[in-house]
């Protein structure tokens, strides 16, 4: 079993098999300015392998071959190569998670993440949902991601842990 929570599993009942420390960010409600961008395209089934490959290269967090089915995903290509993506994953009443924000190594620093996150946020806000996201504490991309998210109006809400455990 895997959960995101703010406390540890009871050790006498559960054996921990993995843990990742996270910061949960929530959009502060300021106006969302969508990216008006002709090179951002919706992604889907035909892009699943490219999305999975980019996720394995850029390591934005959990992303499997079928993750794209959980919400809308968008990408930017250079020629035929998927170089950046972002989408939606988890939903709670009134909230939608921005997920899998990934840029191919060598293409960083060109505002791809900002443009894609704005696109996802605009979709969520138009549906009356408040965007939120998670960032792994201590990850190589944590500082760069924090700068992007702060500029877009996200603020850290709390510290959490993604924990995987099995019954003893």
pLDDT at 4: 65
pLDDT at 3: 67
Q: What is the mean pLDDT of residues 48-69?
A: 93
DSSP string, 119-150: HHHHHHHHTT-EEEEEEETT-TTHHHHHHHHH
% of the chain beyond a pLDDT of 90: 64
What is the model's pTM? 0.87
Residue 121 burial (CB count, 10 A): 26
pLDDT at 61: 84
Q: What is the mean pLDDT of residues 89-95?
A: 93
| CATH T-level assignment (fold) for domain 2-167 | Aminopeptidase (3.40.630)
Each domain of the chain, given as residue ranges in start order, spans: 2-167
Question: How does pLDDT run across 109-137, given as a tens digit for each residue?
Answer: 999 999 999 999 999 999 999 999 999 88
On the question of pLDDT at 1 being above 60, the answer is no
């Amino acid at each position: 079993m895997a959960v995101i929570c703010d406390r540890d599993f009871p050790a006498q009942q559960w054996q921990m098999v993995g843990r990742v420390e996270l910061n949960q960010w929530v959009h502060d409600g300021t106006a969302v300015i969508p990216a008006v961008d002709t090179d951002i395209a919706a992604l889907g089934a035909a892009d699943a392998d490219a999305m999975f490959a980019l996720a394995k290269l850029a390591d934005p967090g959990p992303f499997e071959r079928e993750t794209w089915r959980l919400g809308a995903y968008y990408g930017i290509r250079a020629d035929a190569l998927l170089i950046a993506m972002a989408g939606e994953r988890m939903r709670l009443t009134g909230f939608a998670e921005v997920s899998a924000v990934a840029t191919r190594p060598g293409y960083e620093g060109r505002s791809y993440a900002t443009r894609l996150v704005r696109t996802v946020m605009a979709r969520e806000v138009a549906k009356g949902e408040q965007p939120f996201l998670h960032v792994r504490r201590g990850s190589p991309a944590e500082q760069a991601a924090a700068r992007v998210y702060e500029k877009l109006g996200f603020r850290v809400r709390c510290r959490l842990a993604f924990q995987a455990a099995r019954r003893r």
